Amino acid sequence: MAPAEETSKFCEAYPMKGGDGPNSYANNSTYQRGVVDAAKELLRPNTFFAVENIVEAAKFKFQSQGQDSQVPEFQVFFNDHTPNDFNMLFKSLPQNRRYYAVGVPGSFYGRIFPNASIHFVHSSYAIQWLSSVPKVVVDKTSPAWNKGRIHYLNSPEEVARAYEAQYTEDMECFLHARAQEIVYGGLMVLTVPGRPNGSSHSHSSINMSFQLLGSALMDLARKGGVSEEKVDSFNIPIYCMSPQELEAAVERNGSFSIESMENLPHVSVDDTVSKSQLLAAHMRAGMEGLVKQKFGEEILDELFDLFRKKLEEAPFFIETGKTISFLCVLRRKGNGLEHAV
């Protein structure tokens, strides 16, 4: 038996076409809606593909060692926050899957599994989410109060430091919990969107995107579409880490060895319009839940359309911004038994 945990939050989105006619906004909005839904649906198949690959690889390992008869049965634990839609997940499970499927509600910043019960963890585009917005950035009396912005770029230095501190604390919780749950020698694979080593926060296109989204929100506030106070109290709990920062967290924790840390190849799109549409759809797929919760559904179309326009007006941003996804493979140390699983 080789239980595996699979967590994910984001996924790729398809590029979408523009439209300049009198109905272009409405058309685009409907189209955008479709793209966003497609992006969300893709999340699940992507998760299932990842699980298939992991199970396949584990089987291959046994077979390649002539241990065909010892291939174990697999049990896969799909983890997500409790309010998420497990019903939909269960209904979407592939009919022909070769593993037992289980849903696990709860935050991965705490314990979600018994001691030493997991052999393999896969978490994709998830650990960039902080456990919560750092408290000080919504505290009007704090120097880290993040007035008029929704993320830490172009903010007082204290804001970025508060995000960094939250990241450090969260990552220690994550690694500490997993260290108890994963068997000695067990593996954990993390796919993380972040910024390259040696680049500053201000060069990360993820951070730049949040800055533009914040600026679009402030435009709406100025037009009276949303309350400025609400924007002041709204912050996106995402930290854009570098591979080195993750390495440092792993070393501080001490329970895992780093088996591999590598940047993933980047899929590039050529023209600026497609790029901005792609980014806008991406952003909406990832953020509309959070935005809706705070500001209501009615602002979504206008906000993300405004955001897309801001992207198009800032092609330099797309050219110069740096984003990477990187893959980090960790092995649970311990007991002198660090043989392969």
Contact (CB, 8 A) for 185 and 339 = yes
Beta strands in the chain (DSSP E): 4-8, 75-80, 100-105, 118-124, 182-194, 256-263, 324-332
Contact (CB, 8 A) for 240 and 204 = yes
Based on the shown chain and the rule CB under 8 A, indicate whether residue 304 belongs to the binding site for a copy of itself. Answer: no
Q: How far is the CB of 74 from a copy of itself (least distance, A)?
A: 7
Could you say which DSSP state residue 183 is in? E
Which residue number, 26 or 102, has a Cβ lying nearer to a copy of itself?
102
Which residue number, 4 or 150, has a Cβ lying nearer to a copy of itself?
4
Based on the shown chain and the rule CB under 8 A, indicate whether residue 26 belongs to the binding site for a copy of itself. Answer: no
Q: Out of 10, 108, 109, 113, name the contact with a copy of itself by CB under 8 A.
A: 113
Q: Could you give the CA distance from residue 247 to residue 227 in angstroms, rounded to a whole number?
A: 40
Which residue, chain included where needed, has tokens 């993320």?
151
Q: Name the region of 154 (left: φ>0; alpha: ψ -120 to 50; beta: rest).
A: left
Which residue number, 119 or 201, has a Cβ lying nearer to a copy of itself?
119
Q: Could you give the CA distance from residue 7 to residue 127 in angstroms, rounded to a whole number?
A: 9
Q: Name the region of 336 (left: φ>0; alpha: ψ -120 to 50; beta: rest).
A: left
Based on the shown chain and the rule CB under 8 A, indicate whether residue 141 belongs to the binding site for a copy of itself. Answer: no
Based on the shown chain and the rule CB under 8 A, indicate whether residue 100 belongs to the binding site for a copy of itself. Answer: yes
Q: Which stretch binds a copy of itself (CB under 8 A): 97-105, 139-147, 297-305, 328-336?
A: 97-105
Which residue, chain included where needed, has tokens 């068997």?
183
Based on the shown chain and the rule CB under 8 A, indicate whether residue 341 belongs to the binding site for a copy of itself. Answer: no
Based on the shown chain and the rule CB under 8 A, indicate whether residue 102 belongs to the binding site for a copy of itself. Answer: yes
Based on the shown chain and the rule CB under 8 A, indicate whether residue 86 belongs to the binding site for a copy of itself. Answer: yes
Q: Out of 27, 29, 46, 117, name the contact with a copy of itself by CB under 8 A.
A: 117
Q: Other C-beta atoms within 10 Å of 285: how many?
A: 23
Which residue number, 14 or 100, has a Cβ lying nearer to a copy of itself?
100
Q: Could you give the CA distance from residue 135 to residue 163 in angstroms, rounded to a whole number?
A: 10
Per DSSP, the three-state class of 257 is strand
Q: How far is the CB of 222 from a copy of itself (least distance, A)?
A: 39
Q: Which stretch binds a copy of itself (CB under 8 A): 114-122, 138-146, 159-167, 265-273?
A: 114-122
Q: What residue type is 95 in one-letter code?
A: Q
By CB under 8 A, the count of residues binding a copy of itself is 26
Q: Could you give the CA distance from residue 288 to residue 240 in angstroms, rounded to a whole number?
A: 19
Based on the shown chain and the rule CB under 8 A, indicate whether residue 1 belongs to the binding site for a copy of itself. Answer: yes
Which residue number, 83 or 198, has a Cβ lying nearer to a copy of itself?
83
- The contact pattern for a copy of itself, residues 153-192, with x = CB under 8 A and - = no contact, is ----------------------------------------
Based on the shown chain and the rule CB under 8 A, indicate whether residue 69 belongs to the binding site for a copy of itself. Answer: no
Contact (CB, 8 A) for 247 and 194 = no
Q: What residue type is 29 in one-letter code?
A: S
Based on the shown chain and the rule CB under 8 A, indicate whether residue 112 belongs to the binding site for a copy of itself. Answer: yes
Based on the shown chain and the rule CB under 8 A, indicate whether residue 53 belongs to the binding site for a copy of itself. Answer: no
What does the CA dihedral 47, 49, 51, 53 come to, rounded to 10 degrees? -150
Based on the shown chain and the rule CB under 8 A, indicate whether residue 72 belongs to the binding site for a copy of itself. Answer: yes
Q: Out of 14, 17, 23, 105, name the contact with a copy of itself by CB under 8 A.
A: 105
Site residues for a copy of itself per CB under 8 A: 1, 72-75, 77, 82-83, 85-87, 90-91, 93, 100-105, 111-115, 117
